[in-house]
Amino acid sequence: MSKDPKIIIITAPSGAGKTSITRHLLGKYPQLAFSISACTRSPRHHEKDGVDYYFLSLDDFKQKIQQNAFAEWEMVYEGKYYGTLKSELERIWSMGKTPLLDIEVKGAIHLQAQYPQATLSLFIEPPSVEELRRRLETRGTETAESLRDRVNKASYELSFKHHFDKIIVNSVLDKACQEADETIKNFLGL
Ligand code: 5GP
């Protein structure tokens, strides 16, 4: 394991653009590795087990909770569990890299509380809740009901933004990526 293990968390309400920023950072910094979460939802058609997620059955996930195998876990959607395995952080540290986590807000707060010295947390804020609604509509993945749920949840999650080390407003993706770059370079001492 690296002598000075670090963790970088990217968190945001759904639709704020955290996946794009995560991809940008992974492409730019070979020092980072994507932390593959475990989850109980089904894989989407392009997703691979052990690459996008470790897809677990509900029983297996619950067993790992009992075994204290998670650094954090949450029921993100009704009946759907997501979590960061301690073994995943260890796997990345053992390669001499820093895990980059793309996780939702509550899990991010829990993880940060557990590793306060080691973490840098970035909260990606949408320019407004209205803009977030528009982005989710354009993405076309939501039903009217799930859109309403996500927008309500996003408003709630925005109220936690001050728990994080750095808030980045994502109005223009390039600018948000640049801001994330600066913060990460400082944190990693690059
Ligand atoms: P999706 O199902 O769209 O891949 O992800 C749903 C949400 O779960 C996203 O906000 C994603 O960031 C979050 N998520 C993914 N992995 C984890 C995890 O390990 N822990 C927590 N708390 N949230 C996660």
**Domain CATH for 32:** 3.40.50.300
In-domain check, residue 165: yes
**pLDDT number for residue 3:** 65
Which ligand 1 atom lies nearest to the CA of residue 38? Answer: 19
Q: What are phi and psi of 79, to 5 degrees?
A: 75, 0
Which ligand 1 atom lies nearest to the CA of residue 11? Answer: 12
Task: Name the amino acid, one letter, at 138.
Answer: T
**pLDDT number for residue 146:** 86
Output the pTM of the full model: 0.93
With a 6 Å cutoff on the Cβ, whether 37 touches ligand 1 is yes
Chain-centroid distance of CA 76 in Å reads: 12
With a 6 Å cutoff on the Cβ, whether 22 touches ligand 1 is no
Whole-number Å distance between alpha carbons of 138 and 75: 26
In-domain check, residue 175: yes
With a 6 Å cutoff on the Cβ, whether 104 touches ligand 1 is yes
Question: How many angstroms does the Cα of residue 32 sit away from the middle of ligand 1?
Answer: 18
In-domain check, residue 87: yes
With a 6 Å cutoff on the Cβ, whether 89 touches ligand 1 is no
Distances (CA, A) of 44 to 19, 109, 141, 175, 176: 16, 27, 12, 30, 28
With a 6 Å cutoff on the Cβ, whether 91 touches ligand 1 is no
Of residues 77 and 190, the one with the higher pLDDT is 190
Q: What kind and span of H or E run contains 55? A: strand 53-55
Number of domains in the chain: 1
Residue 26 pLDDT > 60: yes
In-domain check, residue 79: yes
**pLDDT number for residue 125:** 94
In-domain check, residue 1: no
Q: Which of 45-49, 76-80, 97-101 has the lowest mean pLDDT?
A: 76-80
Question: How many angstroms does the Cα of residue 152 sit away from the middle of ligand 1?
Answer: 17
What pLDDT band is residue 78 in, cutting at 50, 70 and 90? confident
Q: What are phi and psi of 187, to 5 degrees?
A: -65, -40
- The residue segments making up the domain with residue 139 are 7-188
Question: How many angstroms does the Cα of residue 74 sit away from the middle of ligand 1?
Answer: 9
**pLDDT number for residue 82:** 98
- Kindly state the tokens that stand for 119: 């973490």
In-domain check, residue 2: no
Whole-number Å distance between alpha carbons of 35 and 160: 23
In-domain check, residue 74: yes
**pLDDT number for residue 1:** 53
In-domain check, residue 128: yes
